[in-house]
């Protein structure tokens, strides 16, 4: 059974960097058959996919256009986890952030089958 456990601060000041970690059990961040995603949810923006990292002989990252200039997702193979960094945050980045797994299915990563518990991050001074 795959489990994703999120950690990180719930309060970030404007202009600073939001950092969250997702620890994986029951699977591997280096798996050739899964991608590891960050998704956020807010009343104003709904559910919004932010980006993913995955390993297919080498590491790849894909990011949503809306955050591409500010986001980094990194795998940590030594701890079997992956992280989210979002720079230069504003109050509009206030949301519940989720990590989620996408299994490789018929050649692509189309669905999210396991999710973390969610972390409410508030951007405020």
Binding site for other proteins (CB under 8 A): 46-49, 62, 64-65, 98, 100, 105, 108-113, 115-118
Q: Is the separation of the CB atoms in 35 and 102 below 8 Å? A: yes
Residue closer to other proteins by CB (options 79, 111) is: 111
Q: How far is the CB of 78 from other proteins (least distance, A)?
A: 26
From CA 125, how far away is CA 123, in angstroms rounded?
7
Instruction: Indicate the SS3 state at residue 32.
Output: coil
Q: At closest approach, how far in Å is the CB of 39 from other proteins?
A: 8
Q: How many CB atoms lie within 10 A of CB 33?
A: 14
- Residue (48 or 76) nearer to other proteins, CB: 48
Q: From CA 49, how far away is CA 55, in angstroms rounded?
A: 19
Smallest distance, other proteins to C-beta of residue 101, A: 10
């Amino acid at each position: 059974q795959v489990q994703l456990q999120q950690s990180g601060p719930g309060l970030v000041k404007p202009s600073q960097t939001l950092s969250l970690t997702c620890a994986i059990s029951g699977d591997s961040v280096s798996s050739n058959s899964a991608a590891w995603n960050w998704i956020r949810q807010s009343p104003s923006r709904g559910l919004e996919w932010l980006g993913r990292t995955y390993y297919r002989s080498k590491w790849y990252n894909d990011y949503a256009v809306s955050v591409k200039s500010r986001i980094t997702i990194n795998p940590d193979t030594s701890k079997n986890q992956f992280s989210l960094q979002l720079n230069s945050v504003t109050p509009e980045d206030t949301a519940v952030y989720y990590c989620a797994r996408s299994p490789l299915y018929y050649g692509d990563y189309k669905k999210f089958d396991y999710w973390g518990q969610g972390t409410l991050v508030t951007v405020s001074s």
